[in-house]
């Protein structure tokens, strides 16, 4: 009996296999001249199931046995239907005729307004209706990304580019190739949920694609587009925005009829060359006045960064009575330092459901979930499920890089590579530091560069600060690190040493615990004043010893962990013994007239007096950080937060506890900070702000290092920070009472300089700002500044006021990325 049931099982299984067998329908899509049509769409009629041709015009569709009608579509070409019967694999090439757009029925009078304007006005009038006509939907999304070099110099910074980037003999080749498939859900306004089903990255079998369907969403029914994309600090105006007629000129190129619908082909052009607008073609249907397709470009004239040209092409498919995107393509090219590159990201949408009826609480803060299994799909799976066939170049890239990656994972290869990379060199140690990698065992040593370890200040004279970092990578992105560090001042002859360790034990909760103990020379301002190198330069060349120091012996234990989405908690316990220090050296390379070094006490610059007695401090601190509307991506290797559109709050509490371990301090400080960066102002750029307030509820025993400090600046050249004052002294306005500070900066993103021909090509960004501080010893201190910046470097001029009295003005130069 058992054998009979087993035989029946195999028979049924075989029959199911036969009935479920699928076949491949493939071919090439060309025009009447035999030229390929890249990224054309192929869909099964009356469904939203389809594929896209690749850049070579090749397509492949997987179908069950049966009868189908295929629809071939491409922007600028007549859609073609073809009935087929599938019972075996078949090759089906298709030729599409160019759509004939004529002006036969359109009367254009001399000096009259182009007929396109009437159509555009109707499209603008119906913009909101089309924007909101689909409240929610779900679909399958396939995303393919490719970036490649098409030209490069032979050498760059002395390195052979062909070998370094693994290019061919013409210094061309694919740098990045990835594919992903996802289940994507959307609900207006702006709620998304995506689960990656499969992922493949060329040459990195253990990696996960960073492709994200929400990154490809671009809806030309929105007034402004590509905010926060990184392409520009400004947004771009849609050709059918409410105010589009102020930015665009239009020309009707012709009309055609598709399935009984008249389609208008309209060229869109900027009214002014350098406005943040698109160029190209849009297709609008009569009567409904909806977009039927786009083929638009952004160029450097529109103010985009990093690339020269971006092409955005959309095709739509009818789903019931509305049209949804069947494919979206972002294609780009550019050149940087003689490196010429090009690439694209294309999304193919299928299996739309515009009535999904999502359950309550379906959408959460998690916008993308990537599980461990998504990169485990084999080549057979991809061959049957990939909606855009690989080109010969892409197929070769996968095969070669995956083979190389497999070889590189072997211990023999890693040992050989590391023997070469780990070779010791004095120049390397002096300039960049020396590292020892053990990739096979996931261990790493790093020795600080000697050049960065030598410093000078008036407290220590010439000093040496040196450290070594050891890091051990564990599974699932967990790791621990250990760092010993020593410091010795040759003038004051003080030696300090400390050891710190950190264990990052839960990437999904951003959870870690750290321990440190020993002694160190620290800045009197707990936020720091300037880098040791900058202070050394100011001291030696400009006779300005701006940074002030003290010595502390300490032990610290801290932990941080995410408690809920967007809510991070940190707790620290610290014991210190603090000592004042004095200047012991007055050497300078350049003697500046009428300038002398000041003492190490910022309150008595002309005499060395102790700022505080030697004391012990035992304190406990806790911080809660909460981000409104925080969104994140969950991957097996961690949790990654997206930039929020809403403010962040930071609530802090620090308590100094008397008599614990002979502690001399007794205070309670509570603080609250609210901040947000890059608040979009559309075409006017973006704003950022920080507002903070705090109060010592108890200040019975507060020594200077435990005071509330502010991020001041006494230097002309400084690294930018939104919380940083530009003219406030580093030290003398710290407080042990209450305070309120506010910082606001607006970046106009070239709104004004873009209109000045000589400045336009520099892509300068105008900024204005205000900083404010009030506390019992410094009431109504205000700074105003304005300036220009580009890629992190900026020049500004500002004024500082104590109440109504101007106390300082001058230039400030900021640097950093």
Burial profile 591-603: b = 16 or more Cβ within 10 angstroms, e = fewer? eeeeeebbbbbbe
pLDDT digits (tens, 9 = 90+) for 712-733: 998 888 888 999 999 999 999 9
Band of the pLDDT at 734, cuts 50, 70, 90? Answer: very high
From CA 573, how far away is CA 559, in angstroms rounded?
9
Which carries the bigger pLDDT value, residue 153 or residue 514? 514
Is residue 709 scored above 80 in pLDDT?
yes
Which carries the bigger pLDDT value, residue 107 or residue 671? 671
Return the bridge partners of 465, or none: 487
pLDDT digits (tens, 9 = 90+) for 41-59: 998 988 888 899 999 999 9
Domains of the chain: which residue ranges? 22-96, 116-387, 676-817
User: What does the CA dihedral 593, 595, 597, 598 come to, rounded to 10 degrees?
Assistant: 170
β pairing state of 648-656 and 638-641: unpaired
Is residue 379 scored above 60 in pLDDT?
yes
> Within 13 Å, how many C-alpha atoms sit on residue 534's CB side?
14
Mean pLDDT of all residues in the chain?
A: 89
Q: Which of 743, 735, 745, 575 is nearest to 671 (CA)?
A: 735
Is residue 13 scored above 50 in pLDDT?
no
Return the bridge partners of 479, or none: 473, 504
Average pLDDT value for residue range 83-98: 91
pLDDT digits (tens, 9 = 90+) for 748-795: 988 888 888 777 778 889 999 999 999 998 899 999 999 999 888 999
| pLDDT for 497 | 97
Q: Do residues 479 and 473 make contact, with C-beta atoms less than 8 angstroms apart?
A: yes
| pLDDT for 1 | 38
CA distances from 32 to 11, 78, 155, 591 (A): 50, 11, 44, 81
3-class state of residue 611 by DSSP = coil
Is residue 663 scored above 90 in pLDDT?
yes
| Total Cβ atoms within 10 A of residue 341 | 19
Q: Which of 194, 213, 185 is nearest to 356 (CA)?
A: 185
Is residue 159 scored above 80 in pLDDT?
no
From CA 724, how far away is CA 765, in angstroms rounded?
20
Return the bridge partners of 457, or none: 461
Average pLDDT value for residue range 255-279: 90
Q: Do residues 636 and 370 make contact, with C-beta atoms less than 8 angstroms apart?
A: yes
Residue labelled with tokens 């599974």: 475
CA distances from 313 to 38, 147, 230, 298, 327 (A): 12, 18, 19, 12, 8
Which carries the bigger pLDDT value, residue 169 or residue 594? 594
| pLDDT for 208 | 66
Is residue 413 scored above 50 in pLDDT?
yes
| Total Cβ atoms within 10 A of residue 723 | 14
Handedness of CA 296, 299, 303, 307 (dihedral sign): positive
CA distances from 604 to 597, 611, 727 (A): 12, 9, 20
Average pLDDT value for residue range 203-210: 67
Q: Is 447 exposed, middle or buried (0-12, 13-18, 19+ CB in 10 A)?
A: middle
Q: Is 153 exposed, middle or buried (0-12, 13-18, 19+ CB in 10 A)?
A: exposed
Least confident residue range of 108-117, 526-535, 623-632 = 108-117
Is residue 207 scored above 90 in pLDDT?
no
What ranges in 212-320 are assigned the alpha helix state H?
A: 244-247
Band of the pLDDT at 643, cuts 50, 70, 90? Answer: confident
| pLDDT for 250 | 95
pLDDT digits (tens, 9 = 90+) for 244-266: 999 999 999 999 888 888 899 99
What's the longest Cα–Cα distance across the chain?
A: 109
Is residue 72 scored above 50 in pLDDT?
yes
| pLDDT for 107 | 60
Q: Do residues 447 and 571 make contact, with C-beta atoms less than 8 angstroms apart?
A: no
Name the percent of the chain lying above pLDDT 70. Answer: 95
| pLDDT for 409 | 67
pTM of the model: 0.85
Is residue 6 scored above 70 in pLDDT?
no
Average pLDDT value for residue range 216-222: 91
From CA 327, how far away is CA 322, in angstroms rounded?
15
CATH fold for the domain made of 22-96: Immunoglobulin-like (2.60.40)
Q: Do residues 702 and 696 make contact, with C-beta atoms less than 8 angstroms apart?
A: yes
| pLDDT for 279 | 95
Which residues, including other chains, have CB under 8 Å from residue 693's CB and lie 6 or more apart? 671, 672, 673, 738, 739, 740, 741
pLDDT digits (tens, 9 = 90+) for 552-595: 999 999 999 999 988 999 999 999 999 999 999 999 999 998 89
Q: Which of 124, 141, 146, 70 is nearest to 291 (CA)?
A: 124
Which carries the bigger pLDDT value, residue 683 or residue 695? 695
Is residue 408 scored above 70 in pLDDT?
no
Q: Do residues 795 and 810 make contact, with C-beta atoms less than 8 angstroms apart?
A: no
| pLDDT for 602 | 95
| pLDDT for 109 | 64
Band of the pLDDT at 10, cuts 50, 70, 90? Answer: very low
| pLDDT for 2 | 38
Which carries the bigger pLDDT value, residue 373 or residue 607? 607
């Amino acid at each position: 009996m058992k054998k009979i049931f087993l035989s029946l099982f195999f028979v049924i299984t075989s029959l199911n296999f036969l009935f479920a067998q699928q076949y491949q329908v493939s071919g090439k899509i060309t025009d009447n001249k035999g030229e390929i049509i890249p990224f054309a769409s192929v869909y099964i009629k009356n469904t939203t199931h389809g594929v896209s041709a690749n850049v070579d015009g090749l397509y492949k569709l997987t179908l069950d046995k049966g009868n189908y009608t295929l629809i071939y579509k491409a922007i600028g070409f007549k859609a073609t239907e073809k009935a087929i019967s599938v019972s075996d694999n078949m090759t089906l090439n298709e030729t599409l005729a160019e759509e004939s757009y004529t002006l036969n029925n359109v009367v254009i009078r001399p000096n009259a307004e182009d007929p396109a304007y009437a159509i555009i006005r109707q499209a603008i009038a119906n913009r909101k209706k089309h924007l909101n006509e689909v409240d929610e939907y779900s679909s399958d999304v396939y995303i393919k990304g490719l970036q490649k070099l098409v030209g490069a110099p032979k050498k760059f910074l002395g390195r052979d580019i062909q070998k370094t980037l693994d290019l061919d003999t013409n210094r061309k080749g694919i740098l990045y190739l990835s594919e992903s498939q996802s289940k994507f859900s959307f609900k207006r306004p702006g709620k998304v949920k995506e689960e990656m089903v499969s992922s493949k990255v060329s040459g990195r079998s253990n990696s996960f694609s960073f492709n994200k369907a929400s990154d490809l969403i671009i809806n030309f029914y929105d007034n402004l587009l590509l905010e926060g994309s990184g392409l520009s600090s400004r947004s771009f105006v849609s050709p059918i925005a409410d105010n589009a007629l102020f930015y665009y000129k239009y020309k009707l190129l012709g009309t055609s009829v598709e399935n009984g619908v008249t389609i208008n082909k309209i060229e869109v052009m900027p009214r002014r060359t350098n406005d943040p607008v698109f160029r190209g073609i849009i297709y609008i249907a009569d009567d409904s006045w909806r977009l039927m397709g786009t083929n638009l470009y952004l160029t450097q004239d529109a103010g985009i960064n990093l690339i020269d040209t971006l092409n955005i092409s959309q095709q739509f498919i009818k789903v019931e009575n509305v049209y949804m995107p069947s494919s979206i393509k972002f294609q780009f090219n550019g050149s940087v330092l003689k490196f010429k590159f090009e690439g694209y990201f294309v999304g193919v949408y299928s299996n739309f459901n515009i009535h999904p009826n999502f359950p309550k609480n379906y959408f959460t803060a998690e916008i993308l979930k990537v599980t461990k299994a998504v990169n485990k799909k084999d080549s057979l799976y991809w061959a049957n499920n990939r909606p855009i066939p690989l080109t010969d170049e892409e197929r070769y890239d996968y095969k070669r890089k995956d083979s190389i990656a497999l070889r590189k994972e072997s211990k023999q290869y890693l040992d050989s590579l590391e023997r070469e990379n780990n070779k010791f060199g004095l120049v390397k140690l002096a300039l960049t530091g020396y590292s020892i990698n053990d990739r096979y065992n996931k261990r790493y040593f790093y020795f600080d560069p000697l050049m960065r370890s030598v410093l000078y200040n008036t407290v220590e004279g010439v000093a040496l600060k040196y450290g070594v970092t050891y890091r051990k990578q564990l599974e699932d992105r967990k790791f621990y690190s250990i760092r010993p560090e020593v410091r010795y001042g040759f003038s004051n002859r003080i030696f300090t040493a400390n050891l710190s360790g950190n264990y990052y034990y839960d990437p999904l909760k951003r959870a870690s615990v750290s321990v440190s103990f020993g002694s160190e020379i620290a800045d009197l301002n707990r936020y720091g004043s300037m880098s040791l190198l900058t202070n050394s330069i100011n001291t030696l060349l400009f006779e300005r010893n701006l940074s002030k120091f003290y010595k502390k012996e300490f032990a610290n234990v801290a932990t941080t962990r995410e408690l809920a989405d967007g809510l991070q908690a940190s707790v620290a316990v610290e014991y210190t013994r603090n000592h004042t220090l004095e200047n012991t050296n007055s050497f300078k390379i350049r003697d500046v007239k009428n300038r002398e070094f000041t003492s190490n006490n910022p309150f008595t610059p002309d005499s060395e007096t102790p700022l505080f007695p030697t004391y012990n401090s035992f304190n406990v601190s806790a911080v809660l950080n909460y981000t409104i509307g925080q969104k994140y991506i969950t991957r097996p290797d961690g949790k990654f937060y997206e930039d929020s559109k809403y403010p962040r709050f930071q609530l802090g509490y620090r308590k100094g506890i008397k008599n614990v371990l002979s502690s001399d301090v007794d205070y309670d400080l509570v603080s609250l900070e609210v901040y947000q960066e890059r608040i979009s102002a559309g075409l006017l750029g973006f704003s950022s702000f920080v507002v903070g307030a705090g109060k010592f509820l108890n200040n019975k025993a507060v020594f200077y290092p435990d005071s509330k400090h502010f991020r001041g600046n006494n230097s002309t050249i400084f690294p930018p920070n939104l919380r940083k004052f530009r003219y406030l002294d580093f030290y003398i306005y710290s407080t042990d009472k209450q305070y309120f500070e506010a910082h606001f900066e607006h970046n106009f993103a070239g709104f004004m300089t873009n209109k000045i021909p000589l400045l336009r090509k520099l892509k300068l960004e105008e900024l204005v700002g205000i900083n404010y501080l009030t506390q019992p010893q410094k009431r109504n201190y205000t700074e105003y500044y304005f300036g220009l910046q580009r890629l992190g470097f900026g020049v500004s001029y500002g004024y500082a006021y104590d109440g109504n009295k101007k106390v300082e003005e001058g230039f400030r130069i900021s640097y950093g990325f």
